[in-house]
Structure 1
Amino acid sequence: MARHDDTILTAALTCFSRYGYAKTTMTDIAREAKVARATVYNTYDSKPDILRAVVKHVTVTMQDKVVDAWKQVDTLDERIDAFFTAVPVAIYDMITTQPEMAELVDEMAATAPDEMIAARADWVDVLATMFRDADVADPQGVADFFYSSAINAKYGSDNRDQVLARLATLKSALLAMVAAQ
């Protein structure tokens, strides 16, 4: 990444979650990043280009956080908890505490579908390493199921406790399946 990329992407995410994607301007992003507007335009051609880069940036940042957390724990149980805390619970918390975040997630799917597909594939690969380390028979298939189930736990949930209960059920089922192998 160029020297301004992280600053611009962090600023863009802040602006998108504060004002919403549609209402955020390149000037807002430049102001938040404390760079000239020309710097933003020299780094990214358009707001959709920034959004696509934000998807990649957020994915890598969250994956790094999860992998770092895994280095601090030993068991599959603890690794699952670390993933839940850093990804589905963190996303749920952002969506429920930042009013424009739900719109941003929808906009990411509409504007950056290729990046969202790539992010999902990257997550499945990261999670497959966790399941490979646990000697799961089909680590890629289990990782795919696990990721989809964990990310979708928020849909139709009335509150955070319900999301946590769904994730606990997923974890229990997964650990039982691994133990039964």
Structure 2
Amino acid sequence: MKIRDENICKAAIKVFMRYGIRRTTMNDIAAEAGLVRQTLYKIYPNKDAVLCAAIRFYSDQSLDAVKEGWKRAHSLADKLDVYFEHAICASFAIVRASPEAADMIGGYTPAGKAEIRRVQAQKAEAIAEILAPYGDRIRLAGLGVDDYADFIQHASIGLRDTANDEAHLRVLLASLKANILSLTGCGRLD
């Protein structure tokens, strides 16, 4: 992604969180990015395109942080902690900081929702990679690695979206982690 596009995405995220997606205009995004509206329209044809780019940008940043953290993590337990911290807890904090952020996290428009599904599938693929060494154990439980990774992705998002507060979210994620470690035969929670 070009620096210009990154700046636009960062500006869009700020404005979406401030006003919500429905009330945000291309003018608002352009002003926050330090552009004139016509320049923004040359780069992105409409607000949906900016929304999708912002979702993709945020998700890519999150997934990059996860993969970087995984390089230093040695156990499945450590890798799950990294994933939950960067992919789930970080977005929980953002949603709680601005009630308008929930629209962006949920995608809001059909195009945004499709982009959310795409980035969630990418995260499920990443989870499947760390589960691959435990594939035999997962299959013994009657599951496929990809399906189990998809379940973990969806379950963790569901926990994020229904937790009462951050402490509650962390307890819920610890329970999910314990189940994953038990099923994969890792057993230890470290």
TM-score where L is the length of structure 2: 0.87
Gaps of 5+ in 1: none
Amino-acid identity (%): 26
The answer to whether 1:172 aligns with 2:171 is: no
Gaps of 5+ in 2: 137-143
Q: Is residue 21–residue 107 contact of structure 1 (8 Å, CA) maintained in 2?
A: no
1:78 to partner: Cα distance: 0.6
Q: Is residue 21–residue 108 contact of structure 2 (8 Å, CA) maintained in 1?
A: no
Q: Is residue 13–residue 54 contact of structure 2 (8 Å, CA) maintained in 1?
A: yes
Distance in 2, Cα, partners of 1:86 & 1:152: 16
**1:135 corresponds to:** 134
Any idea what SS the aligned residue of 2:96 has? Answer: helix
Distance in 1, Cα, partners of 2:162 & 2:61: 27
What are the within-5 Å matches in structure 2 for residues 1-181 of structure 1?
Answer: 1-108=1-108, 110-132=110-132, 134-137=133-136, 138-179=144-185
Q: Is residue 106–residue 113 contact of structure 2 (8 Å, CA) maintained in 1?
A: no
Question: 1:104-147 CA distances to partner (integer Å, 9 max, x unpaired)?
Answer: 33443644232122112111111111111x33333212211111
1:180 to partner: Cα distance: 7.2
Any idea what SS the aligned residue of 1:172 has? Answer: helix
Q: How many residue pairs get matched?
A: 180
> Measured at CA, do residues 109 and 154 of structure 1 come closer, stay the same or move farther in structure 2, by a change above 3 Å?
farther
Superposition RMSD in Å? 1.9
Distance in 1, Cα, partners of 2:27 & 2:109: 24
Q: Is residue 92–residue 160 contact of structure 1 (8 Å, CA) maintained in 2?
A: yes
Q: Is residue 16–residue 100 contact of structure 1 (8 Å, CA) maintained in 2?
A: yes
AA of the residue aligned to 2:162:
G
1:176 to partner: Cα distance: 0.8
